[in-house]
Structure 1
Amino acid sequence: MTEQTVTPTRCGMVSIVGRPNVGKSTLMNHLIGQKVSITSRKPQTTRHRIHGIHTRDHYQIVFADTPGIHTGQERALNRAMNDAAVSTLSGVDVVCMMVDGLKWTPGDEHVLSLLPAKPDVPVLLIINKVDSLEDKAELLPYIESLSARYPFDAVIPVSALKEQNLEQLEKALVERLPEGDFWYDEDQLTDRSLRFMAAEIIREKVVRQLGQEVPHQVSVEVELWEDGPRVTDISAAILVERRGQKKILIGDKGERIKQIGTQAREDIERLIERRVMLNLWVKIKAGWSDDARALRSLGYDEPR
């Protein structure tokens, strides 16, 4: 009778870092196969460190999706976002630095400067959006030039949106995870609460609706969550800093806030798999994005 080889389970934390808008949240969502982190074309959409959990038979990858690392730290909100991202460069099992195709910018240079000179964990370079490269022949010399500047453990070109080369990336990550038991239940997708996820869904709809019309001084606070027999009642306040922002957010005869509410309700219903009655209103809270106490009450950490 032959002995069966038992495949050891692997589990660990993988941090995804990079400048704003390189596709970190999109990558995590597509690797997990579910929308865990909100996305938009607007830079710095992700504000919190969000853990997405990807479980297969013999491994569990806990992704830390982070806000884009940026140099502007004039507000408490910016500092909190940067701290959330930079904190994941240590205490994890693998670091993935993500860049946008061949567009190397001062922002990428800044992220590279934050990586440890002699890393004690593998650091992978993920080159995103390679499907949009006009001349693929430029990719190899680009990889060689960056590999000469930092001891990346591997360089993997992908398209997060088109799901190109994600299997190779996932295999590379699993090979670098330590052996160990799973941290989370196999059907768990994130360590965040449903209230947090609902607030993020609402904020995503605000960001997508408004584009550049209202800056980053917008946040969402879920004030009521009641699960009835058939319907979940949710009330949430959208916080802005100025009266003009409130007017833009509400829109002509309330049409814009109505659209935001409809789109958010549909996504929240898919998330919690039951009917939702969603009530939204807009509050003016002047200076919240530069107020450490207000940020803590909204779930942002300001360790400085």
Structure 2
Amino acid sequence: MSLTPETQEAPFRAGTVAVLGRPNVGKSTLVNALVGAKVSIVSPRPQTTRHRLLGIATFPAGQLLLVDTPGIHREQKRAMNRMMNRAARGAVEGVDAAALVIEAGRWTEEDGLAYAALHSAGVPVVLVVNKVDKLADKTALLPFIAQITHEREFASVHPVSAMKSKGLDALVKDLLFLMPESPPHYGEDEITDRSERFLAGELVREQLMLRLGEELPYSTTVEIEKFEEDGELLRIAAVVWVEREGQKPIVIGKGGERLKAISTSARIGMEKLFGRKVFLETWCRVREGWSDDEAALRRFGYSD
């Protein structure tokens, strides 16, 4: 017996969503929450995300390919900043929709730059007002949304807390509605297009962002020199690169304690993500001015 129109299941939908916004509005936290696993590193510091990364979120009704991007920012002092901005702007090419992530109660010039990049791309834009749980005066939320949406075009608006996974069901429903009818692009157990080798480097860099002082994390990057399977064990060797000789002892710490703590926390994160034991070795080396050197950036895996 054929199904009547009233009892037919809705068609499966799948497509790509660019997740844009200024630095530190919670784009990576949102992507992780939607995927249900940690595919993007997070820290309280702006510009933690340096690479374009695909998070794969699969639901009964469809699949969202979420393109997590570096935050769009005004200052472009170094080659790395310029490359990050190009990566973020280029993420809107060929997508089915976009999510503009902003912080509840705050709109800046950089938010405007992100909106302009999406508006000019001509794709449907969903406004995600994040961190509503941190808004001291909850009565200010609706007037704030009214102000932001005045003379700006959005397919829908969603106040959410990505950190607490609040408001995400409605967001997913509206994003899936904007996707084309399509079978899934990835298996339901796949969560990212990036390799475990890449994710290992990011987990080390996350600890650098969390454990070093104000400026030093921005002068560091991580290169995975070895990633080998030894039975059930993963053997990984990571190099933390800094830009000046004087930065090296700061990363290493007294008696090597800081680098040891960074390695321990990164290893625990890897074992949780990869589901297996990890043996991690780390070193710190100097590459003068790497963040303003296009050749060095490409060697370390940066791309626009």
TM-score (norm 2): 0.95
Q: Is the 8 A contact 1:42 1:211 kept in 2?
A: no
Aligned counterpart for 1:7 among listed residues 6, 10, 14: 10
**Identity over aligned pairs, percent:** 47
Aligned residue in 1 for 2:86: 83
Distance 1:16 1:179 in 2: 21
Aligned residue in 2 for 1:216: 218
Q: Give the Å deviation of 1:56.
A: 1.9
Q: Summarize the alignment of residues 1-304 of structure 1 with structure 2, pairs less than 5 Å apart.
A: 1-3=1-3, 5-117=8-120, 120-302=122-304
Cα 1:254–1:9 change in 2 (3 A) is same
Distance 2:239 2:103 in 1: 34
Q: SS state of the match for residue 216, structure 1?
A: helix
Stretch moving more, 129-138 or 160-169: 129-138
CA RMSD, 1 decimal: 1.4
Q: Give the Å deviation of 1:121.
A: 2.2
Letter paired with 1:13 = T
Q: SS state of the match for residue 151, structure 2?
A: coil
Stretch moving more, 75-84 or 138-147: 138-147
Letter paired with 2:46 = P
Distance 2:148 2:268 in 1: 43
Letter paired with 2:161 = S
Letter paired with 1:173 = L
Once the two structures are superposed, what CA deviation does each residue of 1:119-156 show, in whole Å capped at 9, x if it has no partner?
Answer: 63210111111112222222222212221231111111
Letter paired with 1:90 = E
Letter paired with 1:21 = N
Q: Is the 8 A contact 2:25 2:102 kept in 1?
A: yes
Q: Give the Å deviation of 1:2.
A: 4.7
Q: Is the 8 A contact 1:10 1:174 kept in 2?
A: yes
Q: SS state of the match for residue 16, structure 2?
A: strand
Distance 1:124 1:183 in 2: 22
Q: Which runs of 5+ in 2 are unaligned?
A: none
Q: SS state of the match for residue 119, structure 2?
A: coil
Moved over 3 A (4+): none
Aligned positions, number: 301
Distance 2:213 2:62 in 1: 39
Once the two structures are superposed, what CA deviation does each residue of 1:3-45 show, in whole Å capped at 9, x if it has no partner?
Answer: 2624321100011100000000001101111001000001000
Q: Give the Å deviation of 1:161.
A: 0.6
Q: Is the 8 A contact 1:14 1:61 kept in 2?
A: yes
Once the two structures are superposed, what CA deviation does each residue of 1:37-70 show, in whole Å capped at 9, x if it has no partner?
Answer: 0000010000001100011233110000100000
Distance 1:18 1:230 in 2: 40
Q: Which runs of 5+ in 1 are unaligned?
A: none
Letter paired with 1:299 = G
Q: SS state of the match for residue 116, structure 1?
A: helix
Cα 1:156–1:207 change in 2 (3 A) is same
Q: SS state of the match for residue 89, structure 1?
A: coil
Once the two structures are superposed, what CA deviation does each residue of 1:241-273 show, in whole Å capped at 9, x if it has no partner?
Answer: 011211110001100000001101111112222
Q: Give the Å deviation of 1:80.
A: 0.9
Letter paired with 2:221 = S
Distance 1:84 1:2 in 2: 48
Q: SS state of the match for residue 184, structure 2?
A: coil
Cα 1:5–1:228 change in 2 (3 A) is same
Once the two structures are superposed, what CA deviation does each residue of 1:170-213 show, in whole Å capped at 9, x if it has no partner?
Answer: 11111111101211112100000000000000000111011415
Q: Is the 8 A contact 2:38 2:273 kept in 1?
A: no
Q: Give the Å deviation of 1:105.
A: 1.6
